Chain A
Amino acid sequence: MGTEMTGASSLVKSLEAAGVDVMFGIPGGAVLPVYDPLYDSKIRHILVRHEQGAGHAATGYAQVTGRVGVCMATSGPGATNLVTPLADAQMDSVPLVAITGQVPSAAIGTDAFQEADIRGITMPITKHNYLVTNPDDIPRAIAEAFHIASTGRPGPVLVDIAKDALQKMTNFSYPTSIQFAGYKPQVEPDAQAIRDAVALIAQAKKPVFYVGGGIIKANASKQLMQIAELLGAPVVTTLMARGAFPDSHNLHLGMPGMHGTVAAVTALQKSDLLITLGARFDDRVTGKLSSFAVHAKVIHADIDPAEIGKNRFADVPIIGDLAHTLNALILALQEEFKKNKPDLTVWWRQMSSLRAAYPLGYDKPVDGSTSPQYVIERIGAISGPDSIYVAGVGQHQMWASQFVKYEKPRTWLNSGGLGTMGYAVPAAMGAKVGMPDTTVWAIDGDGCFQMTNQELVTCSLNNIPIKVAIINNESLGMVRQWQTMFYEGRYSNTSLHSKRIPDFVKLADAMGCAGLRCERPEDVDAVIKEAMSINDQPVVVDFRVFRDAMVWPMVAAGTSNDEIMIARGIAPDWDSQEL
């Protein structure tokens, strides 16, 4: 028998029991009962300016800390504003718990004021969700939500609670254990699968570690380093895995995929064994699936059995937590290599030659304006690998994945799966809340920034001094790039005129931030250093950059990775490569 209190108090006590230290949200009628006990709670609630900001902030917090991010909204429009961040978290496997108020249970189904069936709406975009109408069910729902969000393949869980359940009296006691009839993620890998994997690795002549975001989720970067050095095979890190393996490491060929390096893309294409670790054969990585890595056998290690064979057949599937899987693989390989170790000299000769011939690069703009890649490269170099970098979606995102050098996991955040414009500012806010002593840069597009910049008000008022670099090319650059390439340069609706309106410096100032502007390449370093010196308020830098810069290399959507272009219409000189 627990202590008697309202459902709302029971919710707050449950969140405290789950170890929540911070949450992001906005109150409203249906969720209002929660805000009263929250007033007295030790949980820090950060009042955002849009619920989408609350959701992405919770994601940013979760991605840098590895903890569950928490956001809260009222019924109806508050809840629907969470839809985008929930879909985003589902795609990128981010552990979130979203709490929403719902209209009183008697009014459910009557089209009541601010009623939306958020459980129904979010079914396809959450790992699981709940509608709670009995206050006695609140602690268990919260305990289950945190457990589901953070175990197995992480993901968002929504708990929708009817207002009357929040108002009624109940007895609070937080469960010490919970029971699921069917939910039981497999943590330990199957021993036979490990043996099968070792047998494939021992025979491979061209193995590649194809590393996805799962490595970061599993906190298995150390094991990745160990196994990579043990086998000595090339490593490629996907957009979600940047930072899982140091960019400075000699085994690293960079990022594969649509805007990956020639070496990373080609390593996968020519490989005879993909050692796939927490990656999901996304179309942005494989290009045209039927022509992807056609000679490769596949070892596919993942915590989620549904990823096995979804896009690509796996010769050896290994279900389990990647840290456990890699520990087991490392032990077994050490034994195997006493007898026999693959000789990768020829394979490395090919890969080293490609890496040397096709490094990432960019041209200086002919008109003397600032190159966006240069700005991003300098931010990375000056702020260094201990900082956290959060990107929006577009060209700037790809450049931030290419030209910032990542050395550590959880230092690169972006919206990989959903590609959510507007992610950067609120996610950076959440990241800074999670890691207050770390420098957090949002590298944002002028388009993306205009979707969610209001959270800078939240940052200013709550002492969350993030730094925002707006890569201002006065256009929806990535879309414009596609128009350049596939629509004969017919720039329909991609001009933002954002070197004229809005004035980002004034906008920053109006939101309580320091606003800086950089218009010439020779000023880039000085402006970055000035931004680095301001730590008592958020900083926004309007970097005015060359409009026509393009992201290279590129594999056009739907084409084969073999068709990679290093510049418009230009393929690598395959003839000069021994492949």
Chain B
Amino acid sequence: MSTHTLAVLVENSPGVLARVASLFSRRAYNIDSLAVGPTENPDISRMTIVLNLDGHVLDQVMAQLYKLVNVIAISEMTDETTVKRELLLVKVNAGSKKSEISSLVEKFSATIVNEDGGFLTVQAIGEPAHIEALLAGLTPYGIKELVQSGLVALEKGSAALSDRTLSAQGISTLHEIGTQADYQN
């Protein structure tokens, strides 16, 4: 078992998240995290899915995803070729340790975004290992609550998932409409 990150472009149509979730659930693929959001194209959303599975299952997962009519392009986001980030918001009971916490936060290039009644809300952005390390550092102070975004990833340099859609590759996406008779060979 190993961790794999997939970026998936999907048509921005109702129910598309449910379709993907339903696929993962019925095929018993375990999702570690899933992040969805808009893209530069208002008709297209992008999902970043982190999965824990055996390497050879990955091709199968991608093939199954491609079977969803609303899926446009898929790519594996490897550590070497992509930038990966997560967002963390964590609430710590600072008590008398505010300055200690502040220096820890600084060390991790995180920021204190709210301070209220002795509670500090810390925001951190980084790779999963970075976030984990910060959390480990904060844990002794007493974490009241935390929330994490799913991982998002983007290819480095000029490479782009949107270059891999059918239309970007110059493949016609137009289908002539036949009648019943035309569909029998």
- Check B14 for interface membership: any CB of A closer than 8 A: yes
- Check A483 for interface membership: any CB of B closer than 8 A: no
Other than A21-B180, A67-B181, A95-B183, give 15 A-B pairs with Cβ distance below 8 A: A17-B179, A18-B180, A20-B180, A119-B15, A123-B19, A151-B183, A177-B176, A178-B174, A178-B177, A182-B69, A182-B72, A306-B63, A306-B64, A308-B63, A310-B60
Q: Which of A142-150, A190-198, A529-537, A549-557 contacts B (4 or more CB under 8 A)?
A: A142-150
CA distance A146 to B176 in the complex (A): 12
- Residues in A with CB closer than 8 Å to B141 are none
Does the CB pair A143–B177 fall under 8 Å?
Answer: yes
CB of A108, distance to nearest CB on chain B (Å): 11
- Residues in A with CB closer than 8 Å to B14 are 131
CA distance A156 to B90 in the complex (A): 47
- Residues in B with CB closer than 8 Å to A183 are 69
Using CB atoms, name the residue of chain B closest to A123. Answer: B22
- Residues in A with CB closer than 8 Å to B185 are 218-219, 323
Interface residues on A, range: 35 or more
Does the CB pair A181–B167 fall under 8 Å?
Answer: yes
- Residues in A with CB closer than 8 Å to B63 are 305-306, 308
CB of B69, distance to nearest CB on chain A (Å): 4
CA distance A219 to B183 in the complex (A): 11
Does the CB pair B26–A124 fall under 8 Å?
Answer: yes
- Residues in B with CB closer than 8 Å to A120 are 15, 18
CA distance A182 to B44 in the complex (A): 11
Within 8 A of B (CB), among A308-343: 308-310, 323
Main secondary structure of the interface of B (DSSP, over half): mixed
Does the CB pair B177–A306 fall under 8 Å?
Answer: no
Known A175-B177, A179-B173, A304-B67; judge A68-B183 contact (CB<8 A).
Answer: yes
Kindly name the residue among B15, B173, B177, B179 whose own CB sees the greatest number of chain A CB atoms within 10 A. B177
Using CB atoms, name the residue of chain B closest to A305. Answer: B63
- Check B94 for interface membership: any CB of A closer than 8 A: no
- Check A3 for interface membership: any CB of B closer than 8 A: no
Kindly name the residue among B70, B173, B180 whose own CB sees the greatest number of chain A CB atoms within 10 A. B180
Within 8 A of B (CB), among A470-505: none
Does the CB pair B67–A306 fall under 8 Å?
Answer: yes
- Residues in A with CB closer than 8 Å to B26 are 124
The 8 A-B pairs with the shortest beta carbon distances in the complex, nearest first, are A19-B180, A19-B179, A306-B63, A182-B72, A150-B183, A128-B69, A181-B72, A66-B184
CA distance A113 to B66 in the complex (A): 36
CA distance A199 to B11 in the complex (A): 41
Does the CB pair A309–B60 fall under 8 Å?
Answer: yes
- Residues in B with CB closer than 8 Å to A67 are 180-181, 183-184
- Check B166 for interface membership: any CB of A closer than 8 A: yes
Known A119-B15, A219-B184, A306-B64; judge A177-B72 contact (CB<8 A).
Answer: no
CA distance A308 to B178 in the complex (A): 29
Does the CB pair B177–A147 fall under 8 Å?
Answer: yes
- Check B175 for interface membership: any CB of A closer than 8 A: yes
Q: List 22 A–B pairs whose Cβ atoms lie within 8 Å, in order of A's numbering.
A: A65-B184, A67-B180, A68-B180, A123-B15, A123-B22, A146-B177, A146-B183, A147-B175, A177-B177, A179-B173, A179-B175, A180-B173, A181-B70, A182-B11, A182-B66, A183-B69, A184-B173, A219-B184, A306-B66, A309-B56, A309-B60, A310-B60
- Check B71 for interface membership: any CB of A closer than 8 A: yes
- Residues in A with CB closer than 8 Å to B1 are none
- Residues in A with CB closer than 8 Å to B182 are 19
Residues on B lying within 8 angstroms of A by beta carbon are 11, 14-15, 18-19, 22-23, 26, 43-44, 56, 59-60, 63-64, 66-73, 165-167, 171, 173-185
- Check A110 for interface membership: any CB of B closer than 8 A: no
Does the CB pair A309–B59 fall under 8 Å?
Answer: yes
- Residues in B with CB closer than 8 Å to A17 are 179
Known A20-B180, A67-B183, A306-B63; judge A182-B71 contact (CB<8 A).
Answer: yes
CA distance A508 to B133 in the complex (A): 75
Using CB atoms, name the residue of chain B closest to A308. Answer: B63
- Residues in B with CB closer than 8 Å to A119 are 15
CA distance A431 to B183 in the complex (A): 18
Known A182-B73, A306-B64, A309-B59; judge A19-B11 contact (CB<8 A).
Answer: no
Kindly name the residue among A18, A150, A306 whose own CB sees the greatest number of chain B CB atoms within 10 A. A306
Chain A positions 1 through 36: 1 when the CB is less than 8 Å from some CB of chain B, otherwise 0: 000000000000000011111000000000000000
Using CB atoms, name the residue of chain B closest to A65. Answer: B184
Does the CB pair B176–A176 fall under 8 Å?
Answer: yes
Does the CB pair B175–A177 fall under 8 Å?
Answer: yes
- Residues in A with CB closer than 8 Å to B176 are 176-177
Using CB atoms, name the residue of chain A closest to B166. Answer: A184
Using CB atoms, name the residue of chain A closest to B15. Answer: A119
CA distance A147 to B34 in the complex (A): 31
Kindly name the residue among B70, B167, B178 whose own CB sees the greatest number of chain A CB atoms within 10 A. B178
CA distance A146 to B177 in the complex (A): 9
Using CB atoms, name the residue of chain B closest to A307. Answer: B63
Using CB atoms, name the residue of chain A closest to B73. Answer: A182
Of B56, B60, B165, B174, the residue contacting A182 (CB under 8 A) is B165
Does the CB pair A178–B70 fall under 8 Å?
Answer: no
CB of A47, distance to nearest CB on chain B (Å): 22
CA distance A501 to B8 in the complex (A): 57
- Residues in B with CB closer than 8 Å to A310 are 60
CA distance A147 to B179 in the complex (A): 9
CA distance A95 to B178 in the complex (A): 15
CA distance A389 to B60 in the complex (A): 36
CA distance A148 to B67 in the complex (A): 11
Does the CB pair B166–A182 fall under 8 Å?
Answer: yes
CA distance A128 to B14 in the complex (A): 13
CB of A124, distance to nearest CB on chain B (Å): 5
CA distance A123 to B21 in the complex (A): 10
- Residues in B with CB closer than 8 Å to A219 are 184-185
Chain A positions 272 through 285: 1 when the CB is less than 8 Å from some CB of chain B, otherwise 0: 00000000000000
